[in-house]
Structure 1
Amino acid sequence: MERTAAVLPATPVPATASPRKVHLVSSRATFRALSGLATARGLHRDPSGTDLVVSEVDAARLDDVAGIVHRTEQRCGGFFAFDTRAQAEAFLRSDRSAQAIAATAASYTLDNRPTVDHWLPQVREARIRDTIAHLSGYQNRYFASPAGKASAEWIHDHWAALAAGRSDVTTELFTACPGCSTQPSVILTIEGTTLRDEVVVLGAHLDSININGGGSPGQAAPGADDDASGIAVLTETLRIALASGWRPRRTVRFMGYAAEEVGLRGSNAIAQAYRGAGVDVVAVLQVDMTNYKAGPVQDMKLITDYSNASLKVFFEQLFDTYMAPMGYTRGTYTCGYGCSDHASWTNAGYPAAMMFEAGDPGGSFPYIHTTGDTLAMMGNTAQPSVKFAQFALAFLGETAKTRAMHTGGPLLPVTAP
């Protein structure tokens, strides 16, 4: 299957070199942590009441920004990044997050159990581990490095191979993100049958970063947990769904986002393009860090903030129906402003939510954004990610639905209308 450019917007914007300055949108608390590094250019308040700051920072110091957020707030992300102040302020003016959080989203129902029950036992730890091992084997997946581009192209080709022979599946490199340097996002689309104008998104970011890398394209950033594990979960979810001959009623798009670690650039570019084109996205699952668990903690944590209320309830129902009977437990986690790619969809007005790994009582995997983010530091196993693939399959089956219900056994391939 040949690589194709994304169709939204119609004419991709050529990748450009990073500007000398970039403009960040962050919470006021995050800006205070960046004292001496970022210069305030404007104060704002988002529709949900969070105090925000537009600030200016040297482009070469973005890795330092990520490092400060990591050390002071013990989390990822924390900001959106733009090439100009005008772009940052336009982003704030168009903020639809309050609508997205409170909106009554699509009718989420649990009525596709034969499909989901058939899928869940098929998740293979070894397949997830192999994908994590391959992606973390690159020198890095940094957005501005040759390896960052090559790893994205590998994901594209690997996903396309899983869809070989399916005329209803296309795979694209999304390049309409001028702030993403040479790294494209990856989008695989499974065309819906009867509700094709309604879109379900499953996403994870494909880039990696080393907070001590100094912005070097040659930095060592294996990014096994953050977020090769998320891409691996999506890959296993896609493999199982396609191998079963499944055809969804709604259109489904699997997405690997570029340049998340430097300001949610890839996901924001896609979400804003979809909003501008009037695409009807009815549900978004974000998968970011899935392969760590230590200590007597819950197996999964639902992100509480910058997420659609109806979709969060649905996530809880999915978990209690499909995961709890297997002995898994759930909790919650407040992630903060702009902590992962679900925030891009929320800002654009779309219903999005995220399940997160549960680490020890002190938080998530302690070696993210360092050379220690490797499979070896996670026991050379992808077992913690198995449950995330199962949750993603439950989400996929119950949001996109199945064209023809069946009574058990393998799903048979059907001919799309």
Structure 2
Amino acid sequence: MTGVSFHEFRITDSQRLDFHYEIDSETEKKTGEIHFQSNIPIPFDPDSVALALSTMCGSAYRRVRMDLRVSPRARKVVESFLRCELSAPARGGVTPERRRRGNVLSFSGGFDSLAALRLMPDDTNLVSMDFGGRFSTEKPFFDKFRPTVISTNIVGTDFQRNSWSFMGIGAILTAPIHAAKYMTFGSILEAGVDNLRRLPLTSRGQTFPPFAGAGYRNAPYVAGITEIGTAMILVTYCPEVVNDSLASLALPGEEKLYRKYVLASIAAERAGLTVDLKEPPPPATRRPFGRNFTADFLSLYIRRFGGAQVRDAFLTDVPAEIDALSERLALTFYERINTTIMQKFPVELAGGLYERAAVAGLVPYTEDDWREYMIVRDALAPYHPTVAR
């Protein structure tokens, strides 16, 4: 049975929280120290910390202990998410509800979170995570937007693998000071194979439990938009920062950087805009088709509007039937908004989203777009079976 405990919490100047952890299994014990450091004073409320720690655990452990006084409400959320009982001291009393308004964006400065920012209200609060290491290219760029920054050493520990939701720790820890009603990630349509699955509508757009526990409601501004859509938004609203954003999101020679550059180039050309883009070196290695869903999904559009030579700079062994679809289909759905993914988007924010997106040329799918979307999804299913479920 695997268990984890968090203890010896120490707060310094309301800007840094340090604590120890122990992971026990039948074969080994691991110990270490984690820190969260903010660039502004924050309360490090025990409930917020417990919710943040839950994102580091996911459902990976059978036993979880936190030396924090946790309220009954937070305990219920954490235990539901952990799928096990939480061992923690009880905190009495009732936590008063605060009036919440406005938005928080978990902001990395990459294309997708930057596009989300351009679609969101002007008074949106930005929270960035400084993970260091291979993510260190992000900070010099996102610092220009003056976000609240939470630095941590999570990356490289076991906790990085347990749940994607640790990316939202900054928004959870700063929830008491921002008191925002809505929370947004720069997560786009093809960010995960699950987004294209034939899921019931009720399963789309739900607020992830730790974020709901922190008082947020999910507002997925770019969930129905592809990478080409986010590139269209950037070349329309902020072409002057596209090169800096590119430099922040990956290192030279990485496939992701080259792909984003290609999409920005196509977006600018199709919009009739002149954007001075700096071409990065092609990827150091090419990935065979069928290995990465995002690359495979976008390859049809890149082949259609950039040409086979551009597509082949990062992808090999593309099946003939995929190439044939690139030539036969219009593929305009890549430039539009999938409203199925947006079913649970807050109605009160939708007007602003669609108005700003339309300025960049993004409108909801037409009937032809839906037809082609399903053709592409079915063509990818033999290589990525999850989309057929």
TM-score > 0.5, shorter chain as reference: no
In the superposition, the TM-score normalised over structure 2's length comes to: 0.27
Higher relative contact order structure (alpha carbons within 8 Å, sequence separation ≥ 6): 1
- TM-score under structure 1 normalisation? 0.25
More strand by share: 1
More helix as a share of residues: 2
Rg (Cα) greater in structure:
2
